[in-house]
Amino acid sequence: MIAITPRQLEVFVAVARGGSVRAGAEQLHLTQPAASMALAELERLLAAPLFDRERGRLRLNARGRELLPLAQEVLERMQELVRRAGDRPATLAGTLRLGTSNTVGNYRIGELLGAFAAAHPQVALQLRVGNTDAIAAAVLAHELDLGCVEGPVSHPELELRPWRDDALVVCAAVAHPLARRRRLRAELFADARWIVREPGSATRIQAERALAQLPPGKIAMELDQVEAIKQAVAAGLGIACLPAVAVADAVRVGRLAVLPTPFLDLRRRLWLILHRTRYRGGLIEAFLASLAPGAEEASVAGSPRRPSSGKEQR
């Protein structure tokens, strides 16, 4: 039997996340030589390198990408074993790594994390915010335990679970000619100047679908942050299609106006995304349970299980 130690697996996972031995050593509070030695010994025992060395950076090779989720699973199963064998088996601890798209991370983070954080104060939460494509890629690479995005996301290795409904609205400066009309029609949007999110953003994709239902306009500006778009719209530089939750405060104080567009379907759904082969121990299961209907009254310390292989609702 190969004598692989938990410490060697910890170093492997930490280096994979940090991209260098130095970063992995700092994460584990080890000296760099100790971390380097543990990684070298692991690769010797496995008789295969796990990383490609590129100018001081370590990048997982094909073998490393294959073994990373298995190493994570071994470590998490050991943590679960210790937790269940302890005096307080219901107490969860550890780190949960979450990724969210910009709308969720900036405007719905309390809804997403509030119940879980209150129920499990000993769990450290690490949050990464990016556009939908970036978060999906990080979940696929096992850099994140799960994500919450505006979708749509389609990949055979990802499982999607619906979280909640959401909606976009078309907004403009309060002095914009369209904001002064009582009743709007689709043809009034001809030649409109639009301010949009960057490619890779789910809001951009959904806005483009809405714009396809209107007469041709022009993209006047492309920005990668909702707040920047709101500022540009308020300054009269164009109109935008943005999440309703993101513009609510600006509308309330009179900085932006929502244009009534009953002729457009701006509804959408927010999704949780998980890697299908990712082991789901106590932390992930408890987090998913915290978002289920009636979760505040339910026990969220369920037993770990393998992800289902059945088809999910898309």
Give 128-173 pLDDT, tens digit per residue.
999 899 999 999 988 899 999 987 788 999 999 999 999 999 999 9
Confidence of residue 1 (pLDDT cuts 50, 70, 90): low
Q: Which of 105-109, 116-120, 212-216, 298-302 has the lowest mean pLDDT?
A: 298-302
Gap between the Cα atoms of 148 and 274, Å rounded = 9
Given a cut of 80, whether residue 86 has pLDDT beyond it is no
CA-based Rg of the chain, rounded to a whole angstrom? 23
Quote the distance between the C-alpha of residue 210 and its chain's center: 24
- Given this model, what pLDDT does residue 303 score? 32
- Given this model, what pLDDT does residue 152 score? 75
CB 142 within 8 A of CB 72: yes
- Given this model, what pLDDT does residue 39 score? 94
- Given this model, what pLDDT does residue 297 score? 40
CB 39 within 8 A of CB 21: yes
Given a cut of 90, whether residue 56 has pLDDT beyond it is no
Give 93-118 pLDDT, tens digit per residue.
888 999 999 999 999 999 999 999 99
Gap between the Cα atoms of 257 and 230, Å rounded = 11
CB 192 within 8 A of CB 237: no
Confidence of residue 82 (pLDDT cuts 50, 70, 90): confident
Longest Cα pair distance anywhere in the chain, in angstroms?
77
Give 265-297 pLDDT, tens digit per residue.
999 999 999 999 888 888 999 999 999 865 444
- Given this model, what pLDDT does residue 311 score? 39
- Given this model, what pLDDT does residue 221 score? 94
Residues near 126 by beta carbon (within 8 Å), at least 6 away in sequence: 95, 96, 97, 98
- Given this model, what pLDDT does residue 294 score? 52
How much is the average pLDDT of 17-25? 89
- Of the two residues 30 and 312, the one the predictor is more confident about is 30
- Given this model, what pLDDT does residue 107 score? 94
Given a cut of 90, whether residue 77 has pLDDT beyond it is no
Kindly report the average pLDDT of the chain as a whole number.
87
Give 237-261 pLDDT, tens digit per residue.
999 999 999 999 999 999 999 999 9
User: Residue type for 235, please?
Assistant: A
Q: Write down the pTM of the prediction.
A: 0.76
CB 56 within 8 A of CB 49: no
